[in-house]
Structure 1
Amino acid sequence: MTTDRALRRSALALIGLTAMLGSGPSTVLAQAQVGVPGCTDDAPVRAMRESITFDSRGRTIRAHLYTPRGEANGEGLVLLHGGTGFEMNSILFDAHAIQLASRGYRVILPAYFDAADPDARRRTAVARAWRQAALDAAEALSAEPGMARDRVALWGYSRGAAVGADAATAEGSGVRSAILVAGGGAVEGSVAGRDLSVLLLHARRDEAVPVRSTLRLAEALREAGATVEVRELAFDGHQYDLPTWCEAFRTTRAFLENRREAGDGPA
């Protein structure tokens, strides 16, 4: 990443609606359209979304940045999309990201494919580019007001989970927490002494990433020196339905809150 860590902002979109503005039909419609995924524990929406870019190894990476409009809690989360890409997954995760920001988190959703096009002939080089983009997104988020490098966690789904595992265990990574959903794969190196805590979430059955792959990843992370928790979601399949996504993000928040209450910080 360049020495200038300032994010380049454009197309500011204020998400200033709250769930308590009123009880008329217009309020219900606004809630359905903006920032409320439909979970039973949705919070009043008090966040803003910006379209931004940042640099990673000379490449321009697009991203969405979500910022609390109320009090921020000093914690950040990097959301790493799955294999269908930034455009598709930004639609999937947008309302959940706004909900996180409404609860005080700063969230960045980077288009890490911008760092290198998927290429089966250059898997190692592409994986390194994606890993660096994830780390640079975390670094960019840590430069936001009231943030610090060790208070940013990584969150990844499917292919993004593999990228998150790679980034969290990379040499020199300052990440201390990661939440990996429907992910598998292996890790390199050791994180012994770095206090890395990882939450792995998987469905009961998954046709794209078998549960055994997630369990192998858990074992590899433990062998590398990380503290690992594995949780099963009550769903069969890889493309989760809304209640399952609600549970995944509810469990994510609980994991980060428990880290904070234990005095370890979120990341």
Structure 2
Amino acid sequence: MDRRSLLAGAAAAGLAGAVRAQEPVLPTPTYEGMTFDSHGKTIRAIHYRPVGEGRRAAIVMMHGSGGRIRNRGPWHELAMRFAGEGYQVLTPLYTDAFPDDGIRPERMMEAWRDVGEHAIDWFIDRGVDRRRTAMFGYSLGSYVAVDGALGNSRAAAAIGLAGGTDVYTPRVPRRRIPVLVIRAENDDHVLPRNTAAWARFLRDHDINVRVEVIAGAGHLFRPREWAEIFARSAEFYSGNIGRIDQDTA
């Protein structure tokens, strides 16, 4: 290649770079640390916001045993995905209400369920229609989320991921809302038969439950499995709390 061709190529590359630099940067969801109150206890959380108005809907995410809230890792990335779909998200550290000693008496479980209830109330108090609020929980948090949503909460839907009766004995539901149970095919921590027992218990009490399986997954999910969990969850939420026609239904 001669010198003239090299100069022309360099000029073209420079022009392309300048054009790329001028392309608008699309806005993305934002997040910030915050706190709210649950029975006089200060609960730390991360609040995720969609771009603009979004779906005017909200999800409370309850972490698993030993979980932490931080701005990195799969839990944060899942919350950001939900925010990208137009949902506000709150990820409370529910163990702030009652430290986990592994024994988990009923008063501890009730304190954790109340954190979820109060997180839903936090959204409702700020203008989110209760019909557009939902719970999501993983492992231990799946019980806290779903059992709480079927108790005194005002949440309109719930998802339990990798949970079952070996996490805790479910209570008789007080409310009737749609529930999605997602289990890992090869879960050796929360056994599939105990997830099935949980779903059967809920159905026996007239809860509309759908069970879906992440093929090949264990209890600790890999990135592609988290992506599948998001896709299944987003589809479930978009059919109820995130429906376009929700406000006029």
Please give the TM-score of this superposition, normalised by the length of structure 2.
Answer: 0.81
1:127 equivalent in alignment to 2:136: no
1:177 equivalent in alignment to 2:172: no
What is the rounded CA distance, in whole Å, between the counterparts of 2:147 and 2:228 in structure 1?
A: 25
**Residue aligning to 2:90:** 108
Please give the TM-score of this superposition, normalised by the length of structure 1.
Answer: 0.76
**Residue aligning to 1:96:** 78
Q: Which amino acid aligns with 1:177?
A: A
SS of the residue 2:163 aligns to: coil
Q: How many residues align?
A: 223
**Residue aligning to 1:224:** 205
Counterparts of residues 27-42 of structure 1 (less than 5 Å): none
What is the rounded CA distance, in whole Å, between the counterparts of 1:49 and 1:262 in structure 2?
A: 24
CA contact (8 A) 1:70 1:102 kept: no
**Residue aligning to 1:155:** 136
Q: Which amino acid aligns with 1:125?
A: R
Q: Which amino acid aligns with 2:155?
A: V
**Residue aligning to 1:27:** none
SS of the residue 1:69 aligns to: coil
What is the rounded CA distance, in whole Å, between the counterparts of 2:39 and 2:113 in structure 1?
A: 11
1:60 equivalent in alignment to 2:42: yes
More deviation, 172-181/75-84: 172-181
Counterparts of residues 1-267 of structure 1 (less than 5 Å): 46-87=28-69, 91-121=73-103, 123-145=105-127, 147-170=128-151, 172-185=152-165, 186-191=169-174, 194-259=175-240, 260-261=242-243
What is the rounded CA distance, in whole Å, between the counterparts of 1:90 and 1:142 in structure 2?
A: 27
What is the rounded CA distance, in whole Å, between the counterparts of 2:211 and 2:75 in structure 1?
A: 22
What is the rounded CA distance, in whole Å, between the counterparts of 1:73 and 1:143 in structure 2?
A: 17
Q: Which amino acid aligns with 2:132?
A: R
CA contact (8 A) 1:46 1:70 kept: no
How far did residue 262 of structure 1 move? 9.4
CA contact (8 A) 1:165 1:187 kept: no
Q: What's the RMSD between the two structures over aligned residues?
A: 2.5
Q: Which amino acid aligns with 2:220?
A: Q
SS of the residue 2:61 aligns to: strand
Instruction: Decide whether aligned partners of structure 1 residues 52 and 219 sit closer, same or farther in structure 2, where only a CA change above 3 A counts.
Output: same
How far did residue 54 of structure 1 move? 0.3
CA contact (8 A) 1:76 1:106 kept: yes
How far did residue 188 of structure 1 move? 1.4
Higher fraction of strand: 1
CA contact (8 A) 1:162 1:184 kept: yes
Q: Which has the larger radius of gyration?
A: 2
What is the rounded CA distance, in whole Å, between the counterparts of 2:28 and 2:124 in structure 1?
A: 21
More deviation, 80-89/104-113: 80-89
Deviations 1:60-93 (A, max 9, x none): 0000000112332111101110112224796321
Instruction: Decide whether aligned partners of structure 1 residues 250 and 128 sit closer, same or farther in structure 2, where only a CA change above 3 A counts.
Output: same
CA contact (8 A) 2:145 2:158 kept: yes
Instruction: Decide whether aligned partners of structure 1 residues 212 and 88 sit closer, same or farther in structure 2, where only a CA change above 3 A counts.
Output: farther
What is the rounded CA distance, in whole Å, between the counterparts of 1:123 and 1:89 in structure 2?
A: 31
Deviations 1:23-80 (A, max 9, x none): 78xxxxxxxxxxxxxxxxxxx7621101000000110000000011233211110111
Instruction: Decide whether aligned partners of structure 1 residues 216 and 264 sit closer, same or farther in structure 2, where only a CA change above 3 A counts.
Output: farther
Identity of aligned residues (%): 32
How far did residue 174 of structure 1 move? 1.4
